[in-house]
Amino acid sequence: MNTRYFHNAVKHRRRKNKIEGFRLDDGRWEKDRAAVGGLIADYFNNIFTAGIGSGDFVFGCVQRKLHDIHNSDLLRPIRGEEVREALFAMFPDKSPGPDGLSPGFYQHYWDVVGPDVINFCKEVFETGKLPQKINHTNIVLIPKKDKPEVIGDWRPIALCNVIYKIFSKLLANRMKKWLHLCISEQQSAFIPGRHIVDNIILAFESQHFLKRKRQGKTGLVALKLDMSKAYDRVEWPFLEGMMRHLGFEERWVRLVMECVTSVSYSIPFGDEDIEPSRPGRGLRQGDPLSPYLFLLVAEDLSVLLRRYETLGRIHGATVARGAPMISHLFFADDSLLFFRATHDEAALVKESLADYEGASGQVINFNKSKVFFSSNVGDDCKEGLTDLLGVELAGKDERYLGLPTLVGRGKTEILSYIRQRVVNRIHNWNNKFLSKAGREVLLKSVIQAMPTYAMNVFLLPNELCREIEVLMNGYWWKGKSGKGIRWKDWASLSKPKKNGGMGFRRLREFNLAMLAKQAWRIFTNPGSLVSRVFKARYYPKRDFLSASLGYNPSFIWRSLFETQKIIKGGYKWRVGDGKSINIWEDPWLPDRENPKVTSDVGLGLEQAVVANLMDESGKTWDMDVLRDLFDSRDLGLIQSIPISIRPVSDVPCWRWEEDGRFSVRSCYRNLIGEFCSTGGMEWNVMWSWNLPPKIKSFFWQVCSGCLPTKKNLSSRRVDCSDQCGLCGTLGESLSHIFWTVL
């Protein structure tokens, strides 16, 4: 909305992001504009200058992963629809590049510019050459701290021309399809079919294992690495060599490297542009290709560590008997390494990191890296290994990936930083004059999003959820003044708008829905690394749905275990070959309300599976068997299930979505009750009115009886006369004001 408030917000952000000067090494502040510009240019010239390295040693460990069939798919001719999909997958309002054209421009005028864009992409794809100005890029500096002092306190973001990003995204869409073949399972970011939360869960489960490991002669080490300017330091020859050794065809390698190496930069600084020297290395944060290319670079370190693990020279964490050994976990450019607390293994890890740095251009910031030890490691050993590795021992309050590393008793206190962030944000808003509609937008888009990251992994304590809801409820009703009456509690406000509420979230239920998504992935992807680890630790002879809490479980497992009933109540089997589905116990019938068989169990058939109901070919139902075993209700439902003529496995699906895919949205709706009372009102009609949001919010207050009329105030034990202030009669109620007086 184009209001004064949003204009002021933009001006405030510009003032906050403006670079006034830098603190120099000797402590002095440099504020001269020309000198500051020179410091910026020198800084980026230093970062973008290629180093001297060789990847010959590490390339010898890299195995070919892609073959002709994969390269044929990568290099197939470009289709117009493919170009359009790449464009329309972008947010329309994304910041434009040097040409000033946003994705929204190309999307809005696609009928006009589309043919030219498609021809451009086809020409570049065939010739392998990009026009120089197309790949010119602006670098904007965004402060990483509230009070940045040195240039490293600003984060460089690359703003590429959208027409380049269309082509780059097209290549990225093709490449990511086959990345699961190239990238080891220890990397969970940006790979289709994997999720970064999987490795976060594994990291915290492994940390819990280190905490409870009190016996044994040899302890374990967890080394958290901090990469300095990871994207900016990628050496181009190393990236090129990795692609070749992984099996990418030469034409594809040249095409990708053209996108990477033909770049030039400008840094907007006031009324002028700073133009550093032409770069000799680095990937742009803002280029759709960059995240996937960085995974190829990081795979080199994974190859090195797995090689030494195979040779028995590095031993990672094994959280239970039969669990996969974990020597490292990658989260895009974040890394967590596990090895035994011995001098030999620590020295070998340090050597591997040095080899990786020398070849790839990466630089590990050992000053910011941290090390954790299992409980059975002595103080002398800890001191010796921290000195050898050149890192500091992590403290008890250390966070990793934005979350506390160790969560024991007193979870409300440990996770109280979430509540404090909410308090701070609401406090900052108290100087803004906003209507209830404006406060609704801020609460839904900002405050409700704050706990979401932690909710992916942890079940927040009930007390913490209630405290945050009380804060949100108070801010929505009282605003800046902090005074007034909370006319409805959070349970009423969190009803869907169509049911008479305001559509705010119930944090506890939303938390469970978020965790259920992770539990669903574990349940439906038994071959994934996280599933194999949890199975070995908590249910080695069962599946997730029949697992128990177990002995000394981690906070992660306690959180996931709370969603077991949700998964049980929300899944059903999609019949394939029928060999995995118990006829009587499992849900498999196409009935949303009750997908289980209601007929009596046949004598001696307690363990029978659905495959037993098919004929010998397995392609049709055996009608004689069906008529003997099932009542009319079950018989009709079974007959309606089509059987595949090809051999396919049974698949668990989420019965609250038509396509069978789990969604947090449908799970949350089911938890809060999909069919709530509307109180006799057609609320959707009111919310569909073409009126300003603050007017519709006022009408909601009228219809909900939430205005401070004399009658309502008296019911809240406010000492006041109920005489109408307009006509003087007694009984000032909503109906009196809006139907009698007005």
Question: So what's the pLDDT on residue 316?
Answer: 94
Tens-place pLDDT, residues 286-331: 899 999 999 999 999 999 999 999 999 999 999 999 999 999 999 8
pLDDT at 680: 57
Asked whether the predicted pLDDT for residue 14 surpasses 90, the reply is no
Does the pLDDT at position 178 exceed 70? yes
Q: What angle do CA 342, 345, 351 make, to 5 degrees?
A: 135
Average pLDDT over residues 656-681: 82
Q: Does the pLDDT value for residue 19 go beyond 90?
A: no
| Host H or E run for residue 115 | helix 110-127
The residue with greater pLDDT, 62 or 71, is: 71
- Nearest of 62, 45, 44, 71 to residue 239 by alpha carbon: 62
Q: Which of 15-29, 553-567, 703-717 has the highest mean pLDDT?
A: 553-567
Q: What is d(CA 296, CA 253) in angstroms, rounded to the nearest whole number?
A: 12
Residue 596 has pLDDT above 60, yes or no: yes
Q: Quick one: pLDDT band at residue 206, thresholds 50, 70, 90?
A: very high
Q: How far apart are CA 152 and CA 146, in angstroms?
A: 13
pLDDT band of residue 711 (cuts 50, 70, 90) is confident
409-423, 573-587, 670-684: least confidently modelled range: 670-684
Percentage of the residues of the chain whose pLDDT score is greater than 90 = 63
For the chain, give the mean pLDDT. 89
User: Where does the pLDDT of residue 54 fall: very low under 50, low under 70, confident under 90, or very high at 90 and above?
Assistant: low
The mean pLDDT value for 102-122 works out to: 96
Which has more confidence, 286 or 6?
286
Q: What are the tokens at 515?
A: 């965790």
The two structure tokens encoding residue 683 = 């609320």
Region of poorest pLDDT, from 27-36, 66-75, 255-264 = 27-36
Residue 728 has what pLDDT?
60
- Which residues partner with 371 through β-bridges? 223, 393
Q: Quick check: 570 pLDDT over 80?
A: yes
Distance CA 327, CA 318 (A): 9
DSSP code, position 324 = P
pLDDT of residue 388: 95
| Residue 481 burial by Cβ neighbours in a 10 Å radius (0-12, 13-18, 19+) | exposed
Note the pLDDT of residue 603.
Answer: 86
Residue 379 CA to its chain's centroid (Å): 37
pLDDT at 146 over 60: yes
pLDDT band at residue 36 using 50, 70 and 90 as cut-offs:
confident
pLDDT reported for residue 733: 67
**H or E segment at 655?**
none
Spell out the long-range contacts of 445-448 with Cβ–Cβ below 8 A and sequence spacing 24 or more: 447/422, 447/471, 447/472, 448/472, 448/504, 448/505, 448/507
pLDDT digits (tens, 9 = 90+) for 604-654: 899 999 999 999 888 899 999 999 999 999 999 999 999 988 889 999 999
Confidence of residue 371 (pLDDT cuts 50, 70, 90): very high
Cα distance between residue 82 and residue 237, in whole Å: 30
Higher pLDDT, 52 or 667: 667
Straight-line distance from the first to the last Cα atom of the chain, in angstroms, rounded to the nearest whole number:
31
- Look-up: residue for tokens 């600003």? 154
- Distance between CA atoms of 141 and 155, rounded to whole angstroms? 5
pTM: 0.89
Any idea where the domains of the chain sit in the sequence? Answer: 17-48+67-177+236-268, 200-228+291-404, 686-741
Average pLDDT estimate for 508-516? 97
DSSP notation for 194-233: --HHHHHHHHHHHHHHHHH---SSS-EEEEEE-EETTTTT
Q: Looking at the predicted structure, is the pLDDT value of residue 397 above 90?
A: no
Whether residue 456 has pLDDT greater than 70:
yes
Please report which confidence band the pLDDT of residue 567 belongs to, taking 50, 70 and 90 as the band edges: very high
